[in-house]
Amino acid sequence: MPPGRGWRDGGRPRGGEPSSVGEVLQSLMTERVLSQGLLVGRLAGRWVEVVGERLAEESAPARLEAGTLTVSATSGGWGAQLQFLARDVRDRANRALGSDAVKRVRVVVDREASERPKPL
């Protein structure tokens, strides 16, 4: 990489006029990774509504990429339950988001997820 060029600066030279916070945020919002992360954050905040109180205690939305919502479950049993309900989870997640961003639900077991603090 040539000097003065950052990894994600689009080839623009550094320096010049500083960008406003609004410009930086607008730029970040157009990046697919951040926008997908925001959707997962919105889902996390409404996860009880999407899967119900008991399943929400044992699972969490982990990421959303190319229409696939990856859901982390605390055990194989809870993962099987979520997989069985995958269509309902997809439909409810899309209702919670107000879009059809979720095309598929993929469940993974993450035993460490049960030790993480849950969102309030």
Tell me the domain boundaries of the chain.
21-115
Decide which of 59 and 35 is more confident. Answer: 59
Stretch 51-73: mean pLDDT, rounded? 95
pTM over 0.75: no
Q: Tell me which CATH code domain 21-115 carries.
A: 3.30.300.180
- Amino acid identity at 65: E
Decide which of 110 and 68 is more confident. Answer: 68
Measured in degrees and rounded to the nearest 5, phi and psi for residue 70 equal -95, 125
Helix H or strand E segment including 63: strand 59-65
